[in-house]
């Protein structure tokens, strides 16, 4: 579901998050920018990721078909998009996908180009 404003800092879709926004991701490693511990410098404005209208990673979960729903006494369980209470499985995304610096998004591991051979 698209939101016109970031739920944390209130910027409109297509605009850069306000400094300190807890939703913004680091364009270099994919972690939350405010808690990023990678050795990267703070990104310049033109390298940052503007608010897209969806929580970071949700679009990738939809693309990969990764959903989960909360079941009593079982916790979050993988399911299909059509199941009641299905939400993008952001936990699985963090566990199984990798951050692609060039596209500034999560990708499946097999789609990351090999830096030595240029293939996947």
Give 73: exposed, middle or buried? Use CB within 10 Å, 0-12, 13-18, 19+: exposed
- pTM > 0.75: yes
Ordered per-residue pLDDT tens for the chain, 120 residues:
577 899 999 999 999 999 999 999 999 999 999 998 888 778 888 899 999 999 999 999 999 999 999 999 999 999 999 999 999 999 999 999 999 999 999 999 976 565 665 555
Enclosing H/E stretch for 71: strand 67-71
Please state, in angstroms and rounded to a whole number, the distance separating the CA atoms of residues 46 and 94.
Answer: 25
Cβ pair 93, 61 in contact under 8 A: yes
């Amino acid at each position: 579901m698209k939101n016109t404003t970031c739920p944390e800092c209130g910027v409109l879709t297509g605009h850069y998050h306000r400094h300190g926004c807890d939703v913004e991701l680091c364009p270099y490693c994919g972690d939350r920018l405010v808690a990023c511990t990678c050795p990267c410098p703070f990104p310049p404005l033109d390298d940052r990721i503007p608010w897209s209208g969806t929580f970071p990673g949700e679009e990738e979960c939809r693309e990969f078909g990764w959903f989960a729903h909360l079941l009593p006494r079982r916790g979050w369980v993988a399911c299909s998009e059509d199941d009641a209470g299905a939400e993008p499985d952001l936990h699985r995304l963090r566990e199984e996908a990798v951050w692609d610096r060039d596209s500034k998004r999560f990708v499946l591991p097999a789609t990351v180009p090999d830096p030595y051979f240029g293939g996947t």
